[in-house]
Amino acid sequence: MAGLVAAIGWVYALVRLLDGPGVDATEDEIIRFYSNPDTGWDTFFVLQVLFVATAGFLWFVGVIRGRVGIGIPKLFDTVFFGGGILLAGLMFVGSAALAAPFVLADRGAVGIDPAAAAMTRSFAMVALGVYAPRIAALFVFSSSTLGLRTGVLPRWLAVLGYVLGVLLLVDVTISTPSVFVFPAWIALVSIVLVFHRNPRPHGD
């Protein structure tokens, strides 16, 4: 359930925060967008949802580690755990950069600087569109390997994880859709774990 909370919350928050001028927007488009009095009114709520979703993701990581038990390969467990922590941090940093212009437009006493707004969104796209998918690929690789070796995940799901991991790793574009691939993977794994037989923890 924690994984579903993470996936749904991340998708909702990212859709709301990415709803703004792209990195190729002109100064007039940026000023016009952030001059709208309705812009940014729900940003703090969206950030709260993102925090809850990220907490759910960390809980999901804990659930997976609890299921696989203590006798698991340390290499894959380290990459899995470390990747989860890095992903949570990147999500906070990237979403903060996306939210900053919204917060300034809604609560600030000065107008939006188009160059500054474009820079923060560009920074967010680097964090969420370059680094996050590649860390997510390592997370998917390690979780698929752990799930396959311990029987926590069915074989077809582990193989699908390897395929998605490769796609995330070799993607050289900064595209918005790639941001949603990992939440979709988390949701799928969570749904499977609800119905998949829980094996005896490895090493117990």
Looking at residue 200, its pLDDT comes to 47
Average pLDDT estimate for 134-161: 84
Looking at residue 196, its pLDDT comes to 62
Q: For the chain, what is the mean pLDDT?
A: 80
Number of folded domains that form the chain:
1
Give the contacts of 10 (CB within 8 A, at least 6 positions apart).
Answer: 50, 53, 54, 57, 91, 183
* Per-residue pLDDT at 112 exceeds 50: yes
Residue 14 domain-assigned?
yes
Residue 89 domain-assigned?
yes
Residue 159 domain-assigned?
yes
Length of the chain: 204
CA dihedral (191, 192, 193, 198) in degrees, to 10, reads: 150
Residue 200 domain-assigned?
no
Structural domain including 56 reads 2-195
- Tens of pLDDT, residue by residue over 38-74, are 776 788 898 999 999 999 998 888 887 777 766 666 7
* Per-residue pLDDT at 128 exceeds 90: no
Residue 202 domain-assigned?
no
**Single pTM value for the model:** 0.78
Looking at residue 49, its pLDDT comes to 92
* Per-residue pLDDT at 12 exceeds 60: yes
The angle that helices 2-17 and 43-68 make with each other, rounded to 10 degrees, is: 150
Residue 17 domain-assigned?
yes
Residue 40 domain-assigned?
yes
* Per-residue pLDDT at 152 exceeds 90: no
Residue 203 domain-assigned?
no
Cα separation, 158 vs 2, in Å, equals 20
